A and B are shown apart, each in its own frame.
Chain A
């Protein structure tokens, strides 16, 4: 298990890579990638058993980035894991690249599901968890879902099914950064209270600070012990976390920084 300091270093490298990728591509989603960075780092570096040896296995711990817009985060994480050469990150969103605007499972080793069309990822995670139950395989499935994404009806279809099939091997993390592309989620289409909704749909619901590794690890450990129900970890996060001028500003949902802004961001993300 890596220490919080080691994880923090990894997260900084990942955030720097995301800034470089999106700046170079002149497009991409930084805000929602930064809000979920600690969640993804804690999953990939401490919680999930995904290694160079098992990464190509059809059955192992799996991860579905249901909010596929945070693709830059997933690619940067996979690069940090050693599944993707770091120099390839700069091809993100360019022609002939494996690193599509939204992740494609057939192009990149370690992408467990192609996502991007919101609402669909959680259903696929349900399918994976159902397969492990069916074949009595002791693997777990993790999925990051957005709060804005929860406006999609399919999230609730998936939530219903996960509870119905008692998928206690499924752990979803709701990246509650409070913002979507058009503004504050409560103003666009209020999905709250999400905790009460998931509870009513039959899930265990836990609350954490989505940037606190201790709280995240504790929640994952708890989720492993909770039987008979899937777990939803509602993670309070800051959109654009880590770069002062990007934090809590929905304008950083899907725009690329200028060269000067990128430089300023990278400075803030220095070790």
Chain B
């Protein structure tokens, strides 16, 4: 199975987009080789600005550029884009509802060896709480490429959560991305797994393991965390005895919270969350980290099994 990091796919998509659309301006804060905006710089250096290690200022510059009609893609690691620059994003981009696409890479613990100081496990919660902010997280390269282009046609701010490590391609070649619509990757009558980002591949593997036990699960890829595809989630919750959310994010305020908010209001359903506990990460390989912090297919499998025990 093909594997590519979503940040790699972002770099390729942005390099194409910047050539196609003269309104696109790219900003980076001294991480262009890591965030992959360097790809856009290579083909269109005049519309790529490296603002240096100053993320708050980058968000302000992005806002100013957007007021003049530019479509701005601003990148850094998720920790600095959503964390350090939170208030600049909130006031200069969110409150103004300007056309800035914050494409944040190295989200979650699969950032790996740099450790907890760089592992953003709170960014979905932070960005989701900003009024009018669209929050996206692609599951693979195919989805990323289409998403990056789709958001150039959407007016207003959005936050795109991208990963450092390679993930499996889970979508078909003829996949058609639609902003705001969840994607059913597998149909099963008993249980629904709702996953986002790199956890989609883990959920798919868990579904196969569960099928071996005679448990049929649906798997929904939620690439648009906000606004959430409530209709699809409700439809599947209504026919499931259990909903399990899967995300590489804190248990507080992420996809699990978003799904719980809608289900508790519309159709209370038994839920379990596969997510990071109330703890910081640490240095290690991405593989070792997802194992230690409970984000593997096996963890999804065990969560389902433990939740359906009588």
| A126 and B61 contact, CB distance less than 8 A | yes
A222 at the interface (CB under 8 A from B): no
B65 at the interface (CB under 8 A from A): yes
Query: Looking at chain A's contact residues, is the secondary structure mostly helix, strand, loop, or mixed?
Result: helix
**How many A residues touch B, CB cutoff 8 Å?**
36
Minimal beta-carbon separation of B212 from chain A (angstroms): 54
B52 at the interface (CB under 8 A from A): yes
| A59 and B69 contact, CB distance less than 8 A | yes
| B64 and A123 contact, CB distance less than 8 A | yes
Question: Which of B66, B69, B92 is in CB contact (< 8 Å) with A123?
Answer: B92
B54 at the interface (CB under 8 A from A): yes
A105 at the interface (CB under 8 A from B): yes
Stretch from A154-162, A182-190, A208-216 contacting the other chain = A154-162
Chain B residue nearest in CB terms to A165: B49
Q: Which of A121, A124, A153 has the most CB of B within 10 A?
A: A124
The A-contacting residues of B in range 36-63, CB under 8 angstroms, are: 46-47, 49, 51-52, 54, 56-57, 59-63
A131 at the interface (CB under 8 A from B): yes
Stretch from A30-38, A109-117, A223-231 contacting the other chain = A109-117
Complex CA distance for A144 and B146, rounded to whole angstroms: 41
A106 at the interface (CB under 8 A from B): yes
Q: CB-CB < 8 A to A120: which residues of B?
A: 56, 60, 88, 91-92
Question: Which of A117, A119, A123, A132 is in CB contact (< 8 Å) with B61?
Answer: A123
Complex CA distance for A165 and B64, rounded to whole angstroms: 14
The B-contacting residues of A in range 1-29, CB under 8 angstroms, are: none
**How many B residues touch A, CB cutoff 8 Å?**
28
| B91 and A114 contact, CB distance less than 8 A | yes
B25 at the interface (CB under 8 A from A): yes
Query: Looking at chain B's contact residues, is the secondary structure mostly helix, strand, loop, or mixed?
Result: helix
| B95 and A104 contact, CB distance less than 8 A | yes
| A130 and B69 contact, CB distance less than 8 A | no
Minimal beta-carbon separation of B82 from chain A (angstroms): 16
B172 at the interface (CB under 8 A from A): no
Known contacts A120-B88, A127-B64; is A160 also within 8 Å of B96 by CB?
no
The B-contacting residues of A in range 133-174, CB under 8 angstroms, are: 134-135, 153-154, 157-158, 160-161, 164-165
| A113 and B63 contact, CB distance less than 8 A | yes
| B59 and A123 contact, CB distance less than 8 A | yes
Question: Which of A112, A127, A165 is in CB contact (< 8 Å) with B62?
Answer: A127
| A157 and B57 contact, CB distance less than 8 A | yes
Complex CA distance for A254 and B94, rounded to whole angstroms: 26
Minimal beta-carbon separation of B58 from chain A (angstroms): 8
Q: CB-CB < 8 A to B240: which residues of A?
A: none
| A105 and B60 contact, CB distance less than 8 A | no
A59-B69, A157-B54, A158-B57 are known contacts; what are 17 more A-B pairs with Cβ within 8 Å?
A58-B69, A104-B95, A105-B96, A113-B67, A120-B88, A123-B61, A125-B64, A127-B62, A127-B63, A127-B65, A128-B67, A130-B61, A131-B25, A131-B68, A131-B69, A134-B47, A158-B60
Closest 5 CB pairs of A and B: A127-B64, A123-B60, A157-B57, A124-B64, A131-B68
15 contacts between A and B (CB under 8 A): A58-B67, A106-B96, A113-B92, A113-B96, A114-B91, A116-B91, A122-B60, A123-B59, A123-B64, A124-B64, A124-B92, A129-B64, A130-B64, A134-B47, A160-B57
